[in-house]
Amino acid sequence: MAAVQDKKTVIDGDYSLEAVPSSARKGFISMFFIMLGFTFFSASMWTGVSLAQGLDMNGFIGAVVIGGAILAAYTGVLGYIGCETGLSFDLLAHKSFGSKGSYLPSAMISFTQIGWFGVGAAMFAIPAASELNRMMGTDYEWLCYVLVAIVGVCMTGSAYFGIKALEIVSYISVPLIAILGTWSMTMAIRDGGGFVAMFNQSSGSLSLFTGVGLVIGSFVSGGTATPNFVRFAKDNKTAVITTVIAFFLGNTLMFVFGGTAGAFANGANDIFYVMIAQGLAIPAFIVLGANIWTTNDNALYTGALGLSNITKVRKRPMVIVSGIIGTVAAVWLYNNFSGWLSVLNCTLPPIGAIIALDFFLNRDKYREGVKDEYDINWASIIGVICGAVVGNLVTWGIASINAMVVGCACYLIGRAVSRKGK
């Protein structure tokens, strides 16, 4: 089923409302760069700072390995399903949540990813404007909004052209981030007294359990959208391997960059500030821009696909709508959206878990040409609601894991009751 039959007429190159045919599938190298571009993101550096400041070296390694393995397993399963069916996250939700029930996960993923797009645009514009203001004496507030507008237009433009543009941007950005980030990290370790010394400064305020939760939470919401990209992989092996590498090794590299930043630059949570402190301002702008651009394009792509599912308008017009919303609200989102993102980090994982569970229990209905079984699958809807409540309110354990377990349990109970009633 991985090689979905080709269609005679290609309606749009992003297959917003249909499965990806075999003729549009991509090889290992393309998917490798696309997925690394997705996971190379400054927000993961923030997590790295928290881990480095709150754990010793053994705790840091343990949290990254355990949390990364869980995150990679979650996204790897979703990647397999996306490739096997050729369906986007939203079209998979049609099967597990119903044709109209899919509007809930689509709205949630769109809201989250458009929000991340706005936050990412401001993450570049705000420090860039601050540094330019320091160097040139320009008006900070005016420059900040100008940079947000420029960033928003450029990123929206590349996302408009879909998976091909994501691939090109990733080919450029991923090596830049890896090379310049490693260069800066090496300098920071050398000048800061060594890698071990960084962890000797740890406050010890985090438990290993909490550290694992931070690692998972760093990208579990974005990881839920994995099928949107990996559905283009030529085979399941390519899909799973590139996804696991991106979410395990790629994310880990961001944690290490962030941890080094926190040690060298007195708690700075972005390699941008480290490189400025090292006298590398121009590379800092390049790295920050490339770092954010790749993930922001993926976020906008995902948000647009979600809106396409709800409106039935194809992806490209929805990219423009999403980009305008994210750009206009960028500074406000940067200052106010973090709390909502924490809530959504516990709300989206049950969706991915229910999609995966439904797929493995009902593989036949995911085959090409099979009509949606429900308008609304209430077992899935209730599972997401209950999972989200538990994930956000229960204080023990790992929030996203709790949410997934409760969501799947509710789905299975609802499924059993539904079958018994037939």
Q: What is 69-92 written as a DSSP string?
A: HHHHHHHHHHHHHHHHH---HHHH
Task: Count Cβ atoms below 10 Å from residue 342 Cβ, excluding itself.
Answer: 14
CA distances from 109 to 221, 350, 378, 394 (A): 8, 12, 19, 23
Please, is 257 exposed, middle or buried when counting C-beta atoms within 10 Å of its C-beta (0-12, 13-18, 19+)? buried
Report the alpha-carbon distance of residue 350 to residue 356 in Å, rounded: 10
Q: How far apart are CA 250 and CA 223, in angstroms?
A: 13
Q: What's the pLDDT at 156?
A: 93
Q: How far apart are alpha carbons 73 and 405 in whole angstroms? A: 15
pLDDT tens, N- to C-terminus, the chain (422 residues): 544 444 444 456 778 888 999 888 999 999 999 999 888 877 787 788 778 878 888 888 899 999 999 999 999 999 999 999 999 999 999 999 999 999 999 999 998 889 889 988 988 888 888 878 877 777 778 888 999 999 999 999 888 887 888 888 888 888 888 888 788 778 777 776 666 666 666 667 788 888 888 888 888 888 999 999 999 999 999 999 999 999 998 888 888 887 777 666 655 555 666 677 777 778 778 877 887 888 888 899 999 999 999 998 888 899 999 999 999 999 888 887 666 666 776 788 999 999 999 999 999 898 877 887 789 999 999 999 999 999 888 888 888 899 999 999 999 999 998 877 65
